Amino acid sequence: MDEKIMIKGAYGTVYEDVEVINGVVKNDFTGEEYEVEAKSLIKTEIISGDIPEVGDLFMTSSGEFEVDALRGCYVSCPHDYYESVVIGRFVEFEGDNYIPEKSTNGGGYLHKWYEIIDIKSINYVE
C-alpha cells in the first residue's frame, strides 16, 4: 500500500505520495561513505523555542537527544517551548561525522533537513 500525506495549501487540500529518497553522506574524518534514505514527506512532531512557520527549515536527528528542530541544535526544553505537528518536504542530508553504528550512542549523527509545508497544530508549553 502506498503512503500518502494530506497537505492543506493555498489552493485547497491535496494528497501527495510519499517516496523514498536515497543519498550518500561522507564522513569527513574517516572518508567513509554511507548510503542513507529519507521519506520525501513526513508528518512529525517537532519542538522548538521558536514558533514554526510555513517555509521554515527543521532538522531531525538519529541522535538520542532532544532537538530544537528549527534551530538545528540539541537542547533540553523543560519549559517555554512549542510542540508542533508539521508536514515537511525533504531538503537535504547532513552527515559530515555520520557513523551508523554510533548514531544513537554518543556521536556520528545523521541529520535530515525538511521544509515546513503545512502546520497541523502548535502548542505552547510553559
Give pLDDT tens digits for 44-98: 999 999 999 999 999 999 888 888 999 988 887 677 899 999 999 999 999 988 9
Q: Is 101 helix (H, G, I), strand (E, B) or coil?
A: helix
With a CB cutoff of 8 Å and minimum separation 6, the contacts of 1 are: none
Q: Other CB atoms closer than 10 Å to residue 15's CB: what's the count?
A: 8
pTM of the model: 0.90
Task: Look up residue 114 and give its three cell numbers.
Answer: 525538511
Q: Is 79 helix (H, G, I), strand (E, B) or coil?
A: coil
pLDDT recorded at residue 64: 81
| DSSP bridge pairs for 126 | none
The number of folded domains in the chain is 1
CB 21 within 8 A of CB 37: yes
Helices and strands (DSSP H and E) totals, the chain: 0, 10
Distance of CA 25 to CAs 31, 32, 40, 56, 113, Å? Answer: 10, 8, 17, 23, 13
pLDDT recorded at residue 97: 87
pLDDT recorded at residue 30: 87
The mean pLDDT of the chain is 90
pLDDT recorded at residue 1: 52
- Residues of the domain holding 76: 4-125
